[in-house]
Structures are given as C-alpha cells and as structure tokens.
C-alpha cells in the first residue's frame, strides 16, 4: 500500500536521478567522441539535455537536440538506428547490473524557453510582472 503511494506521482527516486545523470554524461561523451561506427551520426553535434529512467532502471529515455535544432529527424533516426551500439558503449562506462534500453525523444526545452521569453515580452504580462497599475473600470 505504501509502495503504491510513492509510485503514483511522487517523482523519480534519488537513485533514478543519479543513474540518469550518469547515463546522460556517458552518452554525451560517446556522441562527442564519435565512438559509434556511423558516419551520419558522427557528423552531427548532438546535445543530450536530459535522461529519465524507469523505476527499475531498465529503460532510459534521452532527450536530445542537434546543434541549432537542424536535422532533428535525421538525428533521431541515426540514434535509433544505432541504439544497440550506443547501449553497449554507455554500459561500458557504467557499473550497472543491467544495461538500460535507450530511447530517444526530441528535447523541447528550448522551444518552451522561447515561448516563455515571448510571453514575458508581451506588454500586458510585463505590466503585471513589473507591478503596474491595473486597468481602470469593472469591479
């Protein structure tokens, strides 16, 4: 019963966060060094923004973005195609009982930051944030 309470929306455990960060760092190293035997993948500069792991640490989802956001579909395709080799290379640098299955998704953090930046530039929002006087009239 207590286990259900913690697994339903309490967020990732410290262990999940620690392992995810280790995987993110190792995956970034592997991609930066071009340790995968795929010229198309090695030609891309890919940023690994975040990795999230499943509670059992058997699945790791990496949120990635190619430099400048260009060729996203090409990057995701190349990463997915080389998933097994990347899994071996990442596992080689980590001391885990199981090598996690790698999955790749587009990192939309930068898009979200752009939306937020545009929102803060809106005149109405700026006035509210800066503590300006509310419009007159109404209740």
Distance CA 59, CA 108 (A): 20
- pLDDT given at position 77: 94
Q: Give the neighbor-by-neighbor strand order of the sheet with 46-53.
A: 46-53, 59-66, 101-106
Tokens 């006035």, located at residue: 127
pLDDT single digits (tens) 26-42: 999 999 999 999 999 99
pLDDT single digits (tens) 66-122: 987 788 899 999 999 999 999 999 999 888 888 999 999 998 876 666 666 776 777
Domain boundaries, the chain: 2-130
Q: What is the CATH number of domain 2-130?
A: 3.30.300.20
Inter-CA distances, 32 with 29, 42, 114, 128, Å: 5, 8, 26, 44
**Residue 32 · residue 44 · CB < 8 Å:** no
């Amino acid at each position: 019963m207590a286990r259900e309470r913690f697994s339903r929306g309490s967020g990732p455990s410290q262990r999940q966060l620690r392992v995810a960060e280790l995987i993110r760092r190792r995956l970034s190293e592997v991609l930066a060094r071009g340790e995968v035997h795929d010229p198309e993948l090695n030609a891309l500069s890919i940023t690994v923004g975040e990795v999230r792991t499943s509670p059992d640490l058997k699945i790791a989802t990496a949120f990635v973005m190619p430099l400048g956001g260009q060729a996203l579909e090409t990057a995701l395709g190349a990463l997915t195609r080389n998933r097994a080799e990347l899994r071996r290379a990442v596992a080689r640098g980590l001391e885990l009982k199981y090598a996690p299955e790698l999955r790749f998704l587009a990192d939309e953090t930068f898009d979200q930051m752009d939306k937020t930046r545009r929102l803060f530039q809106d005149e109405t929002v700026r006035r509210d944030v800066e503590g300006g006087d509310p419009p007159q009239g109404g209740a």
